[in-house]
Amino acid sequence: MRVWDISVKKLCRSHLLGEHRELHAIWSILVQKKKGYAHHPETLRWKGKLRALYQRHKELVKEMIGRGYRHYSPLDARFASGAKQQRQFVDLPCAQVVILRRKKCGCKV
């Protein structure tokens, strides 16, 4: 489970779409108070930062549409509360770049 902290423009197709899917999972866990993955470090770092998560979703959607994908899963803005910026990381953004480089997946990092 991962929401990257690097520009969505740098993500390959797989990581862009995968992050979108996982972001929805985290949103669902936090908004609906679901138990599955509620204690995962990636989920915990977004607790109290749904406004920042909502913004990341907007960035993902804009990039997806720009690449020709359709988007049918909006988030409910009424739940976008808390911090507007994410400052807590499981891995620092510079380490995330290294992780993505090692994958040799097509991400532009």
- Give 74-106 pLDDT, tens digit per residue: 999 999 999 999 999 999 999 999 999 999 999
The answer to whether residues 11 and 19 touch, using CB atoms and an 8 Å cutoff, is yes
Return the domain boundaries, the chain: 8-103
- Give 15-31 pLDDT, tens digit per residue: 999 999 999 999 999 99
Q: Residues with Cβ < 8 Å from 82, sequence gap 6 or more?
A: 48, 49, 50, 51, 52
- The total of other beta-carbon atoms located within 10 Å of residue 109's CB is 18
Question: Does 1 score more than 90 pLDDT?
Answer: no
pLDDT bracket for residue 57 (50, 70, 90): very high
Place of tokens 């899917």: 21
